[in-house]
Amino acid sequence: AQGLCSHPSPGIVRCCRKLHQAPADHLLLVPMAFERLQLNYLKFFEKRLLPDVTIIAQGQEIQAHKVILAAQSDWFCNQFVKGGPHHTITLNYKYKVVYALVRFMYFGSVADDSLGPDDGLDMLLLSEHLGITALEAADIEPLIMPRLTPQNCMNVMEHEG
């Protein structure tokens, strides 16, 4: 956590280090406020309010916000920090997989009835490619295990993920 601080003042560095090293029991979490904050972010995504970047997947557009993408993805952060406006980014993945993953970055949920087991595995691959550490295999399991059928189980077993 010490690498997060780059303040020039030694006093501020000590203060930040102390804050970053504070035990978790000193943090005040307000669950309802956290949920409201999540819903506000999601509203901006779903209503396409003030987007500053467009992601294209399978020829379809997803409007998003650089700050959200960069906060959740090392890959997006690097793209935006390199310079240039980066108003459009193309990802060679299924639209519904990219959309679900971008939505996850805003809201922290992967619940989507339209996603099949192979889509869940694609989400994991894409999250690894984009450096999204908040998404773990356990988060995707509800998209995979309950949705396995005799018709799709071989595709899932042969999936590259």
Say what the alpha-carbon torsion angle 54, 60, 62, 63 is, to the nearest 10 degrees: 50
Closest CA to 102 of 74, 129, 63, 75: 63
Q: Residue 51: which of 123, 102, 96 has the closest Cα?
A: 102
- Torsion sign over Cα 105, 42, 30, 138: negative
Question: How far apart are the two ends of the chain, measured CA to CA in Å?
Answer: 31
pLDDT in tens, 6-45: 434 344 333 333 444 555 556 666 778 888 888 888 898 8
Is the entire prediction scored with pTM above 0.85?
Answer: no
CATH superfamily of the domain spanning 34-158 = Potassium Channel Kv1.1; Chain A (3.30.710.10)
Structure tokens at 115: 């996603």
Q: Give Rg (Cα) of the chain.
A: 19
Contact call for residues 97 and 125 (beta carbons, < 8 A): no
What pLDDT does 135 receive? Answer: 95
pLDDT tens profile 61-104: 999 999 999 999 999 999 998 877 768 999 999 999 999 999 99
- Domain regions of the chain by residue span: 34-158
